[in-house]
Amino acid sequence: MIKVMFVCLGNICRSPLAEAVFAQRVKEQNLEGKLEVESCGTAAYHIGEKPDPRTITVAQHHHIPIDHRAQQLKKEHFNTFDYLIVMDESNASNAKEIEPANATSIMYKLRDFDTENEGSDVADPWFGDEDGFEVCYQTVDRCVDEFLHFLVKKHNLTSA
C-alpha cells in the first residue's frame, strides 16, 4: 500500500481538494487497495472542521466526492506516509521544521508534477472568491493526474 499525504496550511482548501481529486482518480483507475490518501495542514487553525464551503462547491461542480475533517501534520506522518505532497514553499518549510531525522517519506511540491509552471506554488484561494477555487481545482486536477501517473509507473501499479 502506497500512502500519500497532501499538505497545505489550514487543511480546508487546497489539500482536501487534492485528496478528494486523487481519491476519485484512484477509484476511476481501479487502483483502490494499492493507494491510500489523506490530507493535513501545517497549522492547527481548523482542526476537526469540514473543508471551506467554496472547496466543497468546486468539488461538487466537478463531481468529486469530498468528505474530510481537517487535521494537522505530525512528526509520525513522515514515517507512516510514503509521499508528502505540499502545496507551496511555505508548507514545505513548515513541514521541514518538524521533520524527524529518521523520516522515510519523500516530499514533493504538487506542482513538481505540473505540465504548466512546473515547480511553482499552488495558489491559496482562501482570500479570493469562487473563481480562485476554480483555478485551484484546475491546477490540482492537472497535477494530481501527473502525480498518479508517476506513482503508477514508479511502483508498477496495475488495476485491480
Of 52, 88, 124, 136, which is the active-site residue? 124
User: CB neighbours (10 Å) of residue 100?
Assistant: 11
Task: Confirm whether 112 is a catalytic residue.
Answer: no
Measured between alpha carbons, how far is 126 from 133 in angstroms, rounded to an integer?
8
Answer yes or no: 14 catalytic. yes
Beta bridge partners of 38: 5
111 belongs to the catalytic site: no
Which residue of the set 8, 13, 40, 143 is catalytic? Answer: 8
**Among 14, 25, 54, 111, which one carries the catalytic annotation?**
14
User: Which residues are designated catalytic?
Assistant: 8, 14, 124
